[in-house]
Amino acid sequence: MIEHEVVLILDYGSQYTQLIARRVRECRVYCEVLGPEVSSSDLAAKKPRAIILSGGPDSVDREGAPQLPDGLLDLDVPVLGICYGLQLLARELGGRVEGEPTGREYGHADLVIEPDSRLFAGLSERESVWMSHGDHVAEAPPGTEVLARATDGVIAGVRWKDRPVHGIQFHPEVSHTARGLQVLENFLYEIAGCRGDWTAGRFIEGEIERIRQQVGDGHVLCGISGGVDSAVAALLLHAAIGDQLHCLFVDNGLLRKNEGQRVMEAFRSHFKVPVTSVDASEVFLKELAGTTEPEAKRKTIGRVFIEVFESESKNLSDEPLRYLAQGTLYPDVIESSPVRGPSAVIKSHHNVGGLPERMNMELVEPLRWLFKDEVRRVGAELGLMEDFVQRHPFPGPGLAVRCLGELVPERLDKLREADDIFISELRKEGLYRSVAQAFAVLLPVRSVGVMGDYRTYEEVVSLRSVDSDDFMTASWSRLPHSFLARVASRIVNEVPGINRVTYDITSKPPGTIEWE
Ligand code: XMP
């Protein structure tokens, strides 16, 4: 196995823990998030270059609050405590932590920074940061040097003089802390001595080796959805095990216009990875007939997918297929880990659960250590075309969540045409890549209009386009009026059965991105 440097992040429950991990990866340092109950010997076994202690909602003195792993500080590994992490270190080493009766509220704070520290090298004497105004270190432990205070005097940064341990009260990982990345870089490169050589290329080398070790001469089944994740997973697997990989693309009749052909074309001609394509649209639409309730649609689609996938995979290979590839990403892994407690919401609706158990297969998850932007970089490195890498996400249940009401072929076709006009106009205007996700939704509503001399009574399309980094929150895209006008008029003129177009100006929250 190729060795790469690793930084471990102990998650004390902060809403920002994942962001710390993303920032560390941005510094090209591989990192993993672990629960605070991990033992020091397990930590040591991973040979970390550094350990970062996240923030968290608790108070260090509360009975039952998560603590430092026993013996952590004897490992002699550089440690950075952030907020709750700092408070744990301070209390452990003889300082005093004080609570704020108002609880933990975040806000801007101005720091006054002492000159000449390695942690704050390159920062100005004053910096604006994002800080919790709850518990704080009221008395620095013996043997420490205070490196920064907030303007109200609260200790914001400390260094232990005789160990490689630092703590900060503010959050360097959030964008509101203007120079936060610099602080993390200082810690990783200057204090912990990281090289920062975690690149897509190195990931691919290591992962190819890992896949080979896991599957040996076994055969792997990989479902292709048309999205980036499954494509990157398939390319990685193909690079690792060649024709031990068997890819299956199920057309459920709920894809965008020309999507099926486009995906098959990309795999066959461009990536040279063989894929078996199955047109199951009739089965899906027959099973969905008469269903209008969103949750029922999702359930039916999940069930039929499993049935089709299972029966079709039997014809793929003479060899037994012992492994099932899945494009699980790191955020799903972190979100499903029990240490996050109630703050972790598992997006179970995003996955077709139950497949590996039902088919009695072992999972191969080549992307389980990557964030979405890293998947894109790995994809680009593996030769995925720009066009494919930069695609907007498309939900597993496809147009079922965008065709409200009955899923009949005529309505799905209408939606496909309208969506295609919207997306191709976005591309033509150079706007496609500047928005995070865009699509058309067909509403189960008719309204009156006039076309020439005739009164019309037809269906309504709503256009949805959002800007978002992580799809957890999103704001509606401020697309130019002239652009929206052109799209609306093309849709009404070119798509029979649609006589009205609206633009969705709801942000998430309170709206969701999809309408369902
Ligand atoms: P919402 O609608 O929850 O969507 O704001 C957030 C992101 O998730 C996608 N999404 C799904 N993806 N299966 C998927 O694979 C689903 O059932 C599903 N529902 C929503 C959505 O397109 C957006 O990117």
pLDDT at 452: 87
What separation in angstroms does the CA of 256 have from each of 19, 234, 412, 458? 33, 21, 9, 22
Q: Is the CB of 503 under 6 A from ligand 1?
A: no
Nearest to 495 by CA among 468, 469, 463, 453: 463
Catalytic residues: 83, 171, 173
C-alpha gyration radius of the chain: 26
pLDDT at 330: 85
Instruction: Count helices and strands (H / E) in the chain.
Output: 15, 20
Mean pLDDT of 199-223: 95
Q: Is the CB of 398 under 6 A from ligand 1?
A: no
More confident residue, 143 or 331: 143
More confident residue, 156 or 352: 156
For residue 512, report the distance from its CA to the centre of ligand 1, in Å: 9
The number of the ligand 1 atom at minimal distance from the alpha carbon of 468 is 24
pLDDT at 490: 98
pLDDT tens string 400-427: 999 999 999 999 999 999 999 999 999 9
pLDDT at 345: 36
Mean pLDDT of 232-248: 97
pLDDT at 151: 95
- The most distant pair of C-alpha atoms in the chain lies apart, rounded to whole Å, by 87
pLDDT at 3: 67
- Does residue 340 surpass a pLDDT of 50? no
Q: Is the CB of 397 under 6 A from ligand 1?
A: yes
pLDDT tens string 89-147: 999 999 999 987 666 678 999 999 999 999 999 999 999 999 988 899 999 999 999 99
pLDDT tens string 266-314: 999 988 999 999 999 999 999 999 999 999 999 999 999 999 999 999 9
For residue 376, report the distance from its CA to the centre of ligand 1, in Å: 18
- Does residue 440 surpass a pLDDT of 60? yes
- Does residue 180 surpass a pLDDT of 50? yes
Let me know the angle formed at the C-alpha of 476 by 474 and 477, rounded to the nearest 5 degrees.
115
Q: Which two tokens stand for residue 187?
A: 């810690």
What separation in angstroms does the CA of 139 have from each of 53, 93, 96, 136? 20, 11, 5, 9
pLDDT at 344: 36
pLDDT tens string 246-262: 999 999 999 999 999 99
Nearest to 73 by CA among 40, 39, 31: 40
- Does residue 1 surpass a pLDDT of 60? no
Give, using CA atoms, the residue closest to atom 9 of ligand 1.
395
Residue type, position 165, single letter = V
pLDDT at 337: 56
For residue 269, report the distance from its CA to the centre of ligand 1, in Å: 29
pLDDT at 331: 81
Q: Is the CB of 393 under 6 A from ligand 1?
A: yes
The number of the ligand 1 atom at minimal distance from the alpha carbon of 298 is 17
Q: Is the CB of 483 under 6 A from ligand 1?
A: no
Q: How far apart are CA 263 and CA 267, in angstroms?
A: 6
The number of the ligand 1 atom at minimal distance from the alpha carbon of 474 is 5
Q: What is the mean pLDDT of the chain?
A: 92
For residue 319, report the distance from its CA to the centre of ligand 1, in Å: 35
Q: How far apart are CA 209 and CA 351, in angstroms?
A: 27
3-state secondary structure of 23: helix
What separation in angstroms does the CA of 274 have from each of 243, 267, 269, 516? 9, 7, 9, 33
Nearest to 170 by CA among 187, 186, 155: 155
pLDDT at 347: 36
pLDDT tens string 344-391: 333 333 445 677 788 889 999 999 989 888 999 999 999 999 888 889
pLDDT tens string 21-47: 999 999 999 999 999 999 999 999 999
